[in-house]
Amino acid sequence: MRYKNQAFDVPVDTAAVAQAAFPKGNPYMTMRDEIGPLYDDSHFAHLFSHAGRRGESPGNLALVLVMQHMEGLTDQQAADAVRSRIDWKYALGLELTDAGFDRTVLVNFRKRLLAGSEELALLEHMLARFQEMGYLKGQGKQRTDSTHVLAATRELNRLELVGETMRHALEASARVAPPWLQQQATPEWFGRYGRRLDQYRLPDTKKERQELAEVIGQNGVELLQAVYATKTTPELKSLPEVEGLRQVWVQQYLLQEGEVRWRRPDDRPPGERLIQSPHDLEARYSQKGGGANWTGYKVHFTETCDRDKPRLVTHVLTTPSTVPDSQVTTTIQQDLGANGLSPAEHYVDAGYIDAGNLVESIDTAIDLIGPIQPDSNWQGRDLQAFDLSCFTIDWQAQQATCPMGEKSVSWSPGHDNYDHEITHVRFARATCAACPQRERCTRAKKNGRSLKLRTKTEHEARQRAWQRQETSTFKEKYKRRAGVEGLISQGVRRSGLRRTPYIGLAKTHLHNILVAAATNLTRVVAWLEGSYPAQTRVSAFQALAPST
């Protein structure tokens, strides 16, 4: 298959006009001259049919997607830029007369990337080129941070959710099987679901809202029963909107003695499974530590932070908003290792560290650097109290010794709710009751102090990390993590990182990868033009502070 346009050399006319238009240079010209064509057609050729007429160069389309995110352009604006801007033509190696393409070509290219699971190729081929250029190497320093990404849907309360889910399923069914739906729908359905179910149209009292929710529930069950019973239009069953209706109904309603009942709030599935909108079934509701909440996703970026090289994003991970940071640390490190980009030092905040991934980091020879969270119980929060670090554990004898020199009296291995191996350790009630330091140790009225231990390896890794983070060397070293906020801020300002323009996790992930690729390209071009990352600014007064 031949493609239009991809050429290593910039056409002579384009080069002459670009040099006249930008006598002092231009970032896109620097990019083309110093980096060369980043993507080759062969990287993406397998996503296209080998028959039919000549298509646009896949390598160039990939680069256009990245350039689009460098400037935060819409598809239409990006297609216009390809057609009309000299610097874009130079970067893409196009003839001056090249008419470009319709914006739908970009839409289709993104679809092909997702269908072929090739979205990561946009970042990987770029990183491979930067490795060739000496800007990237394994065994350096990298840091990871995450930020929230709002779903491209409206926030809905529970009543709006069920009403909107029903309306969405009816709209989809009406497009696929209009005569069939006309037979099923009652006159009330047209009044109730003909328009979007907004808050202002809903009843005020709790009782009326409950009644309406159960009427909607009954209507949904009737629609689902009709869809599953029909032999004339079996395709209705496989509509995503109908499947969404089924899933939302399972989560929000109960069938009791033939009646459809709205579930109580405490009788619904946990947050990680709870659908928030029929328009994006994968977006989840989550709350941050500070109380801020959002519905959508979370993106984790990992970037290099060696001082003698441009800072480059090496890894992007998008998850539902409910996945804790500590659950992705190992995945990120394994992915980096698989691409030959394992860092020697990995800087993260406390959310990414738990005993398990401290041990896994040791196994992969990565120094995971960050503060570990204190014990979640009150002893961990009170500086005067005896937390776990105050106890000596003899794993062989299966016994703990408390700060007052007393020995534990029971040792019971088991598992916690997350299936982690744990051991419950107890001290004798009578011993603790007579202890002069009891107030610093336990608030249990009827029992002695109890401890919950992870495995020996995890416990020891945690203790070592705890001791290390108290040192001034660690505190100085850990300052390196702070700059990662600059990456998030760049993504937010240039590419609207905090609100996905797409529906669903896969498309949101593609968007996040493009934000990362655009950031990398911007940074390398800036580096090539002699603009190096600024160190964190220190005020004139702070600069006078004695070093610790």
Residues that bind ligand SF4 (CB under 6 A): 386, 402-404, 406, 427, 431-432, 435, 437-438, 441-442, 448-449
Maximum C-alpha span of the chain: 92
3-state secondary structure of 412: strand
Helix locations, 230-294, DSSP H: 240-252
Considering beta carbons, is residue 317 or 441 the nearer one to ligand SF4?
A: 441
Q: Using an 8 Å Cβ cutoff, are 220 and 255 in contact?
A: no
- Nearest 5 degrees, angle CA 80-CA 150-CA 524? 50
Considering beta carbons, is residue 90 or 386 the nearer one to ligand SF4?
A: 386
Nearest C-alpha neighbor of 332 from the set 469, 509, 523, 142: 142
Q: Using an 8 Å Cβ cutoff, are 451 and 399 in contact?
A: no
Helix (H) / strand (E) element for 144: namely strand 141-150
**What's the closest the beta carbon of residue 447 comes to ligand SF4, in angstroms?**
10
Q: Using an 8 Å Cβ cutoff, are 326 and 339 in contact?
A: no
**What's the closest the beta carbon of residue 386 comes to ligand SF4, in angstroms?**
6
The token pair at 114 is: 């997702």
Considering beta carbons, is residue 369 or 402 the nearer one to ligand SF4?
A: 402
**What's the closest the beta carbon of residue 407 comes to ligand SF4, in angstroms?**
9
Considering beta carbons, is residue 140 or 374 the nearer one to ligand SF4?
A: 374
**What's the closest the beta carbon of residue 383 comes to ligand SF4, in angstroms?**
16
Q: Using an 8 Å Cβ cutoff, are 263 and 224 in contact?
A: no
The token pair at 208 is: 């009326």
Considering beta carbons, is residue 366 or 435 the nearer one to ligand SF4?
A: 435
Nearest C-alpha neighbor of 121 from the set 516, 490, 495, 501: 516
**What's the closest the beta carbon of residue 457 comes to ligand SF4, in angstroms?**
24
In angstroms, how far is CA 404 from the centroid of its own chain?
A: 46
Q: Using an 8 Å Cβ cutoff, are 151 and 283 in contact?
A: yes
Question: Whole-angstrom Cα distance, residue 350 to residue 344?
Answer: 19
Question: Whole-angstrom Cα distance, residue 382 to residue 392?
Answer: 19
CA atoms within 13 A on the CB side of 260: 19
**What's the closest the beta carbon of residue 442 comes to ligand SF4, in angstroms?**
5
Question: Whole-angstrom Cα distance, residue 427 to residue 29?
Answer: 72
**What's the closest the beta carbon of residue 444 comes to ligand SF4, in angstroms?**
9
Question: Whole-angstrom Cα distance, residue 315 to residue 337?
Answer: 11
Q: Which one-letter amino acid corresponds to residue 466?
A: W
Question: Whole-angstrom Cα distance, residue 483 to residue 542?
Answer: 18
Considering beta carbons, is residue 109 or 386 the nearer one to ligand SF4?
A: 386
Considering beta carbons, is residue 261 or 440 the nearer one to ligand SF4?
A: 440
**What's the closest the beta carbon of residue 384 comes to ligand SF4, in angstroms?**
13
Considering beta carbons, is residue 101 or 427 the nearer one to ligand SF4?
A: 427
Q: Which one-letter amino acid corresponds to residue 235?
A: E
Considering beta carbons, is residue 203 or 403 the nearer one to ligand SF4?
A: 403
3-state secondary structure of 140: coil
**What's the closest the beta carbon of residue 355 comes to ligand SF4, in angstroms?**
22
410-415, strands of its sheet edge to edge: 410-415, 421-426, 450-453
Percent helix, strand and coil across the chain, each rounded to 5?
50, 15, 35
**What's the closest the beta carbon of residue 448 comes to ligand SF4, in angstroms?**
6
**What's the closest the beta carbon of residue 310 comes to ligand SF4, in angstroms?**
53
Considering beta carbons, is residue 33 or 406 the nearer one to ligand SF4?
A: 406
What lies within 8 Å, CB to CB, of 292 at 6+ separation is none
**What's the closest the beta carbon of residue 428 comes to ligand SF4, in angstroms?**
8
CA dihedral 475, 477, 480, 481 (to 10 degrees): -60
Considering beta carbons, is residue 106 or 441 the nearer one to ligand SF4?
A: 441
Considering beta carbons, is residue 370 or 448 the nearer one to ligand SF4?
A: 448
